[in-house]
Amino acid sequence: MLLCAQYILPITSEPFQNGAVLVRDGRICDIGTTDMLKLRYPDEEIVDYGLAALMPGLVDLHTHLENSVMRGIVHDVPYTTWITSMLEKSAKMDVGDWYDSAILGGLEALSSGITCVADITATGAACTATQKLGMRSVIYREVGAMDKRRVDYAMRVAENDIMHWREEVDSSRITIGIAPAAMYVCHPSMFGKVSDFARRENVPVAMHMAGNREEFNFIKYGSSPFSVHTMDQKRGYVEVPPWLPTGTTPVRYALNWGAFESDNVLAIHCVHVDDEDVKKLKEYDVAVAVCPRCNAQLGMGVAPLTEFLRSGLRTGIGTDSPAATDSTDLLTEMRIGMLVQRAVNVGQFLDSATMLEMATIGGARALKLDDKIGSLDIGKRADLVAVDLSGSHQTPTTDPVSAVVNTCSGADVLMTMVDGVQLYEKNKWHVDVEVAKNIARVIEIRGKLRM
């Protein structure tokens, strides 16, 4: 199949006009001008997207697909109020609800040009959903226990889940990993045990880290809304005393307990970090997922993205929980992230090309999948998207990269392909899911959550 468009954005090389990409057997087999490829492959089926950009599929470096049904439920509140509300709503969800919610999130991701997600889940719903939808994903099984005596049991349950999930997915598309829970619900020994398991089983690790001021204060000073005063009510019996001030930052606290000892670690948010934290992340080759919209929406702060890039950290972009941002739209995420950085870092002007790189090959590098996805290179998997650039707000288009980042949203996506299979065309899904039935279920679940 020859996919043609006015603009080709390979990411690892310069954009060019009137180009085409040859897709065979799930791989990119050739790339060049449309005229040249038509002559070279005269018998190939041709799909022409016209005034559009053909580019690699977007890599959503952090999300929680199973929370999609909760979007719009809690608005205009800071992080601590939001997370408390989410926990209360979650108690009303059953296994089927989580799955249907994750399917909804996956459908929205595909319609927004996202071909690969890195998802943290305790239920496994995202694992089943991405397998069913044909998406590419890295699914991290969340594990946490504040009581030291419960750590080993929590790890055994998580390890069993991971082994089970591995057997149920297509390993060429889906990787299973592990994620220690938020630091305020994790005994510190959990980090070392997660690292030991990750090394032993060769699985990736992800962890939320330094995302908000409350977590920072909890770790460093032992005082915040996550303090010991509420632990007996929310977490049952725990050690006495269960928490003492550490006097250090969340990054160095995690480091001291062995959190970075495995080979493939992803740190999410990293908003409240200092120069020494960034040096340690680089020293241990920890990748970083920044989530600009969520951080802004919940008043968490602004990650020092330019410092991450200057330090050479493997950095990408995540949409985070749809319950916080109300949509799984990485195109909008790029634009808002870029504008926020420009506003707070006067003199350090972040450009569109850097944002698009982070949303594609940058996310792939962070997941150590850049040998398979993230750019239009011959031999890589055919994870592609076509983005419409014909709108009145986009023309005349002189710089397609700038147009994609500055003017596009998920609504402009014309086609999403994973492994050479078109899973989405404008307002139409080619997936093994009854979309109308899923939407009906989602409406039913949302009614339950509002009660």
**What is the average per-residue pLDDT within 58-74?**
95
pLDDT at residue 394, rounded to an integer? 79
Domain 58-367 has CATH 3.40.50.300: no
Q: What is the pLDDT of residues 388-432, one digit of tens each?
A: 999 878 777 889 999 999 999 999 999 999 999 999 999 899 999
Amino acid making up residue 442: V
| Count of CB atoms situated within 10 Å of the CB of 167 | 8
Q: What is the pLDDT of residues 319-346, one digit of tens each?
A: 999 999 989 999 999 999 999 999 999 8
pLDDT at residue 244, rounded to an integer? 66
Is the model's pLDDT at 232 over the cut of 80?
Answer: no
Q: What is the pLDDT of residues 80-93, one digit of tens each?
A: 899 989 989 999 99
Mark out the alpha helices in 11-60 (DSSP H runs). Answer: 34-40
Q: Which tokens hold the place of 310?
A: 């200057």
**What is the average per-residue pLDDT within 20-26?**
98
Lowest mean pLDDT among 14-18, 51-55, 73-77, 125-129: 73-77
CA–CA gap between residue 332 and residue 413 (Å, rounded): 12
Kindly report the CATH class assigned to 2-56+374-429.
mainly beta
CA–CA gap between residue 371 and residue 379 (Å, rounded): 9
pLDDT at residue 226, rounded to an integer? 62
CA–CA gap between residue 54 and residue 17 (Å, rounded): 10
* Residue that wins the pLDDT comparison between 270 and 228: 270
pLDDT at residue 398, rounded to an integer? 86
Place of tokens 């994870």: 383
pLDDT at residue 184, rounded to an integer? 85
Domain positions in the chain are: 2-56+374-429, 58-367
**Collapsing DSSP states into helix, strand and coil, what is residue 141?**
strand
Backbone angles phi, psi at 184, to 5 degrees: -80, 0
Look over the chain and give the mean of its residue pLDDT values, rounded to a whole number. Answer: 93
CA–CA gap between residue 357 and residue 371 (Å, rounded): 15
pLDDT at residue 235, rounded to an integer? 45
Is the model's pLDDT at 230 over the cut of 50?
Answer: no
Q: What is the pLDDT of residues 273-318, one digit of tens each?
A: 999 999 999 999 999 999 999 999 999 999 999 999 999 999 999 9
Q: What is the pLDDT of residues 94-147, one digit of tens each?
A: 999 999 999 999 999 999 999 999 999 999 999 999 999 999 999 999 999 988
- DSSP assignment of 91-137 equals TT--HHHHHHHHHHHHHHHHHTTEEEEEEEESSSHHHHHHHHHT-EE
What is the chain's percent helix, strand, coil content, to nearest 5?
45, 20, 35
Backbone angles phi, psi at 437, to 5 degrees: -65, -40
> Does pTM top 0.85 for this prediction?
yes
Backbone angles phi, psi at 388, to 5 degrees: -65, 130
Q: What is the pLDDT of residues 253-279, one digit of tens each?
A: 999 999 999 999 999 999 999 999 999
pLDDT band, very low/low/confident/very high, at 222 (cuts 50, 70, 90)? confident
pLDDT band, very low/low/confident/very high, at 237 (cuts 50, 70, 90)? very low
Percentage with pLDDT > 90 across the chain: 84
pLDDT band, very low/low/confident/very high, at 227 (cuts 50, 70, 90)? low
